[in-house]
Each structure stands twice: as C-alpha cells, then as structure tokens.
Amino acid sequence: MKPFIYVANWKMAMTRQSVQTFMAEFHSDAALYSRPNTTIILCPSFTHIAMVASLLNGTKAKLGGQTCSTYARGAYTGQTSATMLAETGCSYCIIGHSERRTLCDETNEDVAAQYVQLVAASLTPIICIGETASDHTAGTTTSVLEHQLSPLIEAFKQHPSSQLMIAYEPVWAIGTGVTPTIQELAATCSWLKSFISQNFAGATTMLLYGGSVDATNAAEIKTIPSVDGLLIGGASQEFKKFKNIVV
C-alpha cells in the first residue's frame, strides 16, 4: 500500500453533536486510524477545533483548519491567524478552497499571503486549485492551474516550506456528484505533479484530488500513480461514508 492522505473538509456542515458522534465512532476504530501508510487529517470549523483536538487524543489522526488570515495578528475582526490554529492543535490548513475564492473573493495573491503565514507558523499548507466548468469546456485547465499557482511559486522562493500539499479540485466537480473521467484525471494529475515538483523544488510535495469523492469512485482514483491523497467534503461528514473511502 503506497502512503496515502485523506483530508476531511467538514466545511460548515457539522453541529457540535455530529462532530461528537463522528469522533466517538472514529476513536473506537483503531484499525482505521492505525492503518499503515495512512494519514488522516480532519478539518473542522474553527469553533470545533479545540474539541476535536482533545477527542483525537490517542489516535494518529491530525488536525487542520479550513482557512486562515493573510495577516499575522492585529485588528482583523472575525479572522483567525495561522499561529492561533497551531496553538489549538492544527498542523495543517486548507487554503484557496473554491468556496473561499468565490464566496469571499479570495485571490491567488491572498492564497500566497496565507501560505506565508502558514509557513511562519510551521503548519503544512493544503492549497486548493481547480478550473471552472467554462475553463474546462474551453480546454484551458493547465493554464488556469499555472496561473493560480503563480503568486504561490514566488512566495515559495522567499519563504520555502519543507512540505506542502496541492489539492486539485475542479470547481465543477465539487459537491456535484460529477468527477472527471479517470483518464482525464490521470493526465491532469500527471502534468500537475511534475509542474509542482519542478516549481517547489526542495519541498516534499503531495498531490491530492478533491471533488465528489465517495466510496464508489475512491478506489479507482487511488490507482492513479500521481495522486497521493484525497480531499473529501460531503462524504467525510459521516463516519461510515468516510471509512468506506479510506478502507
């Protein structure tokens, strides 16, 4: 079994009760969280992070935030810094998710600034990129991905991180039940894997796929050699569904 990463993006979908239910089932399934070569990263909402940190005790799973501020500290009402995430037990953070880009107008430059904050706080960034449906139809996927990564590559030169994850999430595949064909996904991921290893040289880079991953399509996606992990939204929010993707 090759090393494989599963990132659960709980978005704003979980109540305190549903987090506790998930964690009780997770905690009693040592075979799941002790699987060899398997990294599980749970990304709750900010208000649940501290609780999940304590409920994770004794498991090998890790914690991540869903976004962070572009600033280190100061008068930024409502924001959460990378250092605060680290203090609360996170070792990872998702940035650049398409929902943040569209709903909160986050730009590629903002994502690069968040990356800098994460590196300063010694968190591993999970950077989301992906083309829209119209980019996909126009056949411009690779140039869109290059453009999204461009400010990040510049930031990396000044602030190199030892490890980073790129999550390829076609916008048209998120929450829609539609995924690219395996052939198309393999081709894009193979191109992206070599692009990121060239442009983030010196860092350990891992490539994740996200967008409508579920128990029926995960097994085939995992066979793509350039895919090192999965970023899972909807299907990560119920323990049984999530487990069926991992095992």
Closer to ligand PGA by Cβ: residue 87 or 220: 220
Choose the catalytic residue: 48, 97, 99, 131: 97
Choose the catalytic residue: 99, 106, 131, 169: 169
CB of 236 to ligand PGA, least distance (A): 7
Q: Is 229 in the site for ligand PGA (CB under 6 A)?
A: no
Q: Which amino acid is at 217?
A: N
CB atoms within 10 A of CB 116: 19
- Adjacent-strand bridge partners of 92: 64, 124
Among 211, 221, 222, 245, binds ligand PGA (CB under 6 A): 211
Among 5, 9, 82, 114, binds ligand PGA (CB under 6 A): 9
User: Binding marks (x or -) toward ligand PGA, 158..197, rule CB under 6 A?
Assistant: -----------x----xx----------------------
For ligand PGA, which stretch binds (CB under 6 A), given 55-63, 75-83, 194-202, 226-234? 226-234
Pick from 220, 217, 222: nearest CA to 207: 222
Closer to ligand PGA by Cβ: residue 151 or 175: 175
Pick from 228, 111, 140, 130: nearest CA to 173: 130
- Report the residue number whose CB is nearest to ligand PGA: 233
Sheet strands (E) in the chain: 4-9, 38-43, 62-65, 92-95, 124-129, 163-168, 204-210, 229-232
Closer to ligand PGA by Cβ: residue 135 or 169: 169
- Tell me how far apart the terminal alpha carbons of the chain are, to the nearest angstrom: 11
Q: Is 184 a catalytic residue?
A: no
CB–CB of 189/224 below 8 Å? yes
Closer to ligand PGA by Cβ: residue 73 or 240: 240
Pick from 58, 158, 177, 78: nearest CA to 115: 158
Question: Which residues in this chain contact ligand PGA in the complex, by CB under 6 A?
Answer: 9, 169, 174-175, 210-213, 231-235
